[in-house]
Amino acid sequence: MKIIMLGAPGAGKGTQAKMIADKYGVPHISTGDIFRANIKNGTELGMEAKKYMDQGLLVPDELTVKILLDRVAKDDCEKGYVLDGFPRTIPQAEVLEEALANIGDKIDFAIDVDVPDENIVRRMSGRRACLSCGATYHIEHVPPKAEGICDRCGKELVLRDDDKAETVKNRLNVYHEQTQPLIDFYEKKGVLKSVDGTVDMQDVFVAIVSILGE
């Protein structure tokens, strides 16, 4: 079972990817994690990727797919995997599709965790973080006992730059421009499934399981 997770930043697709991986006993594969592992282990592909990353450049699609194929060839991917964070663009999806076809493989499901922009802005701009101990809160869903103060260590909570409404809106604009077209791409392939990401996290997961099967 080869699955791609789609959805805007803050839609909760990473959380769902982990839950899917746990339930079905398949690896949760994040491209960021693979890059870091290859660089740490000093692999040939990792060193090639590092050259681009050190210059602040994006790793080319062909190299990213090579690193990805190297990862999915490992024994723990025999029953499948969940891809999180790749592909992000149509060219990446096309390179991935061609590479998989060359080894007689293909993506079985592309699951879109659908959340309207206004929900995401509210969800992310409500986050608060303790820079001292790393605890995180949400002013609506998981508020601290005392406003603006960490329950764990008593230090001040902050709104990180990444979570500011303006930053979130900019990230959503990039998503709509570059990544949302993947929804049409995978719909045409007949593998797209959408779930309502505005409901409780557990209900989202139940909806995904009903698509994938027990």
Identify the active-site residue in 71, 123, 127, 128. 127
Per the annotation, the verdict on 152 as an active-site residue is no
Question: Per the domain annotation, does 122 fall within a domain?
Answer: no
Per the annotation, the verdict on 127 as an active-site residue is yes
Identify the active-site residue in 13, 66, 123, 128. 13
- Looking at residue 20, the DSSP 8-state letter turns out to be H
Question: Per the domain annotation, does 145 fall within a domain?
Answer: no
Question: Per the domain annotation, does 15 fall within a domain?
Answer: yes
Question: Per the domain annotation, does 131 fall within a domain?
Answer: no
Per-residue pLDDT of the chain (214 residues; tens, 9 = 90+): 999 999 998 899 989 999 999 999 999 998 888 988 999 999 999 999 999 888 888 888 889 999 999 999 899 999 999 999 889 889 999 999 999 999 899 999 999 999 999 999 999 999 999 999 999 999 998 999 999 999 999 999 999 998 999 999 998 998 899 889 999 999 999 999 999 999 999 999 999 999 999 7
Report d(CA 2, CA 212) in Å as an integer.
11
Domain count of the fold of the chain = 1
In which domain, by residue range, is 8 found?
2-115+173-212
Question: Per the domain annotation, does 90 fall within a domain?
Answer: yes
Question: Per the domain annotation, does 95 fall within a domain?
Answer: yes
Per the annotation, the verdict on 160 as an active-site residue is yes
Residues 27 and 134: beta-carbon distance below 8 Å? no
Per the annotation, the verdict on 189 as an active-site residue is no
pLDDT of residue 144: 96
Report d(CA 169, CA 156) in Å as an integer.
26
Confidence (pTM): 0.84
Question: Per the domain annotation, does 195 fall within a domain?
Answer: yes
* Strand order across the 127-130 sheet: 136-138, 127-130, 157-158
Question: Per the domain annotation, does 165 fall within a domain?
Answer: no
Identify the active-site residue in 23, 51, 79, 160. 160
Identify the active-site residue in 71, 88, 123, 128. 88
CA-to-CA dists, residue 77 to 95, 126, 211, angstroms? 20, 37, 20
Identify the active-site residue in 36, 50, 122, 171. 171
pLDDT of residue 58: 80
* CATH number of 83's domain: 3.40.50.300
Per the annotation, the verdict on 128 as an active-site residue is no
